[in-house]
């Protein structure tokens, strides 16, 4: 490996000390894993890209732990994820934010929407939602929730309340049409369905939490996998209704397994438990046209080479060599 000097941010990553210098930039970004298992190389490549987008624009890079699912979220997974991010040379600003500590903040946002008359209870089971989504329902996209419980009469709603089945809370989105510009995909638009804001188990839903968190943390550019493109109109509309800043977006291509499905543990050796971090980073760089196959690189070197406009637009197939 060629010798290289380390920037202060790289030294922070290597030692586990993370910078917290106050700054504000249109490139302020984040990475937000759920601590339900070890990150695979596709997750780590997305984290690297989010870091490159933020740092290349002089922005902050934040780490958020999306641990709302108490049953699946484990502290040991969180520690391993953080260790793996450090192992490939990434750093971040400040301490990680934990969603599990922010329930009251999410409840405040929910109540604001409720006061605006945009929240209603939903008692639909998953089977009922699937059946309803299969029927044609106007301007909404295929598979969208058609607002079944929004149309209940007072008597029907009272009957469901008496059943004792816990209700989720949905946004009355009024089939809003949302257009946005993506850094990689260009101009896109989508119709927003009535999505869940608060789950029946009294847990904030992902869509509400992520919008509130991005605004509160000052995230101004969201870089994430392009499998989340469909969530963007929902989140932009929710930010608008709450009067929160709307970030810009860059949805990056995924890493797929040999079967063409999104990379997962079932594909075998896909984590840093199976691969040397330096070799894994080398593979990520080559897959993004930022390095030659087998070239050992550091994040700071990749930062010098990074050009968002030159990124591949197609997914990468990962085939383990180990």
Mean pLDDT to the nearest integer, 157-176: 94
- Cα separation, 95 vs 22, in Å, equals 13
Q: Is the pLDDT of residue 134 over 80?
A: no
| Residue 127, pLDDT score | 83
Whether the Cβ atoms of residue 110 and residue 208 lie closer than 8 Å to each other: yes
- Residues 147-154 have a mean pLDDT of 93
Contact 70, 99 (CB under 8 A): no
Strand (E) or helix (H) holding 129:
helix 126-134
Per-residue model confidence (pLDDT) at position 137: 55
Mean pLDDT to the nearest integer, 221-235: 97
Three-state secondary structure readout of 204-260: ECHHHHHHHHHHHHCCCEEEEEHHHCCHHHHHHHHHHHHCCCCCEEEEECCEECCCC
Q: Please give the model's pTM, rounded to 2 decimal places.
A: 0.88
What is the per-residue pLDDT across 45-104, written as a single tens digit (0 to 9) for each? 999 999 999 999 999 999 999 999 999 999 999 999 999 999 999 999 999 999 999 999
Calpha distance 196→171 (Å, rounded): 6
In this model, does residue 23 exceed pLDDT 90? no
Residue-level pLDDT at 130: 78
Please report where in the chains the tokens 């990749």 appear, as a residue.
302
E strands in 85-226: 97-98, 119-122, 168-171, 177-182, 186-191, 196-198, 221-225
pLDDT at 322: 52
Residues of the chain by 3-state class (helix, strand, coil), percent to 5: 40, 15, 45
Per-residue DSSP letter, 93: S
The packing angle between helices 103-115 and 231-242, to 10°, is 70
Does residue 11 have a pLDDT over 60? no
Residue identified by tokens 């732990």 is: 65
What are the residues whose beta carbons fall under 8 Å from the beta carbon of 232, sequence distance 6 or more?
178, 180, 182, 188, 190, 249, 251
- Exposed / middle / buried, residue 88 (Cβ in 10 Å: 0-12, 13-18, 19+): buried
Q: What is the dihedral of CA 81, 85, 87, 89, to 10 degrees?
A: -170
Q: Which of 188, 195, 153 is nearest to 172 (CA)?
A: 195
pLDDT in tens, 89-106: 999 999 999 999 999 999
Q: What is the pLDDT of residue 16?
A: 34
Mean per-residue pLDDT for 226-235? 96
Element (H, E) at 274: none
């Amino acid at each position: 490996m060629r010798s290289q000097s380390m920037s202060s941010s790289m030294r922070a990553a290597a030692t586990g000390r993370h910078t917290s210098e106050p700054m504000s930039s249109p490139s302020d970004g984040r990475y937000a894993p759920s601590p339900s298992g070890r990150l695979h190389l596709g997750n780590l490549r997305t984290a690297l890209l989010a870091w490159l987008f933020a740092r290349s624009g002089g922005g902050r890079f934040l780490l958020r732990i999306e641990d709302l699912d108490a049953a699946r979220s484990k502290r040991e997974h969180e520690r391993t994820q953080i260790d793996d991010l450090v192992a490939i040379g990434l750093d971040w600003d400040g301490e990680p934010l934990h969603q599990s500590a922010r329930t009251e903040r999410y409840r405040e946002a929910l109540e604001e929407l409720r006061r605006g008359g945009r929240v209603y209870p939903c008692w639909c089971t998953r089977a009922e939602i699937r059946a309803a989504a299969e029927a044609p329902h106007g301007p909404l996209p295929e598979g969208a929730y058609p607002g079944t419980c929004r149309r209940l009469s007072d008597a029907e709603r009272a009957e469901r309340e008496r059943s004792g089945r816990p209700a989720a809370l949905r946004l009355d989105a009024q089939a809003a049409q949302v257009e946005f510009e993506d850094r990689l995909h260009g101009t896109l638009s989508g119709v927003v369905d009535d999505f869940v804001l608060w789950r029946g188990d009294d847990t904030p839903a992902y869509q509400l939490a992520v919008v509130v968190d991005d605004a509160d943390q000052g995230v101004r550019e969201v870089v994430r996998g392009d499998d989340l493109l469909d969530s963007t109109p929902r989140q932009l509309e929710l930010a608008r209704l709450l009067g929160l800043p709307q970030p810009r977006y860059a949805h990056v291509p995924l890493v797929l397994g040999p079967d063409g499905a999104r990379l997962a543990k079932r594909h075998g050796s896909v984590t840093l438990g199976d691969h040397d971090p330096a070799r894994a980073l080398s593979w990520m760089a080559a897959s993004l046209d930022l390095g030659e196959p087998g070239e050992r690189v550091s994040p700071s070197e990749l930062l010098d080479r990074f050009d968002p406009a030159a990124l591949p637009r197609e997914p990468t197939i990962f085939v383990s060599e180990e």
